[in-house]
Homo-oligomer: A and B are copies of this chain.
Amino acid sequence: MRTYSLAIHGGAGTIRKAEMTPDLEQAYQIGLETALLAGHTILEKQGTALDAVEAAVRVLEDNPLFNAGRGSVYATNGRHEMEASIMCGQQLDAGAVAMIQRVRHPISLARTVLKASPHVLLVGAGAETFAREHGLRFEAANWFDDPKRWAQLQEARQAQRVQLDHAARKMGTVGAVALDLHGNLAAATSTGGMTNKMSGRIGDSPLIGSGTYANNATCAVSCTGIGEFMIRGVSAYDVSCLMAYRGLDLAAACHEVIQVKQTDLGGEGGLIAVDAKGEVALVFNSEGMYRAWIQQGYSPEVWIYA
């Protein structure tokens, strides 16, 4: 019997209830619900998992609360250097972009790379040229401006004088994973990276196998956290391998990758995943992760803290 599932995340990290106002908490919840609804509507109408994860991530990219698209944090050069990737579990097709500026929906550019390019990963000016050739929407630089994010950059610049890896605490990313009624899995991840990151640094979000992975035989995964540790752990693909080669179920595989392996490596973050049966896993070793999910026949769930 065919079913559908959708899970999304808005980043993992140090999210303390004491530092959150009721209004802000509500704004996060509404943001997550709206993104979930965008993907859910597609899955309910027998749309594809690929369309659903792209739609959910586009909504998160448009929301200034989340570190992706419009809400991207500032790199040390004062610019927004965004990255995204998307993968379809049916044929293992993938597309990814990094170091791109002013593209409104980086996830849709990644989708266009998947669809219209023989390549998987395009970065920088070459990726932006490709975006223009394919009619992707660009925004003026001020579309991405945000006084709060700018203040975060100034704070990080200050702190860097005494504490080099302060920026590592900012781990916002958004992502979505889905199973559709046709039995296909898909995963999508998008981010603005780390506040005050050096220009040219690429994290796990645009890297297939590290930040994003989907395979109809196993699962779809989107990671968030300190990208360097996810890259060294090849974390998204690791979940799939633990299922395929060791026979773990989705929950056990996700636990092993985040709670055991990432924790041992010194990484902090989390991941969301769905499997071919529609099971959902949302796992993190940080204080919180903005997350929401829905399974066919159940009500949506929206969570922030542990």
Contact = CB atoms under 8 A, between A and B. Distances in A.
Interface of A: 92-94, 98-99, 118-127, 129-130, 164-165, 168, 198-203, 207-210, 213, 227-228, 231-234, 237-238, 241-242, 245-246, 265
Contacts of A124: 99, 123-124, 199-200
Number of copies: 2
A123 B94 contact: no
A94 B232 contact: yes
B165 A118 contact: yes
Contacts of A238: 237, 241
Contacts of A165: 118
A94 to B, nearest CB: 6
Contacts of A202: 121-123
A233 B94 CA distance: 10
Contact of A232 (B120, B126, B242): B120
A241 B213 CA distance: 15
Contacts of A242: 245
B237 A209 contact: yes
Contacts of A241: 237-238, 241, 245
A231 to B, nearest CB: 5
Nearest to A121: B202
Given A118-B164, A120-B232, 16 more contacts: A93-B232, A98-B123, A99-B124, A118-B165, A120-B227, A121-B202, A123-B123, A124-B200, A126-B200, A129-B199, A129-B200, A208-B210, A208-B234, A209-B237, A237-B241, A246-B246
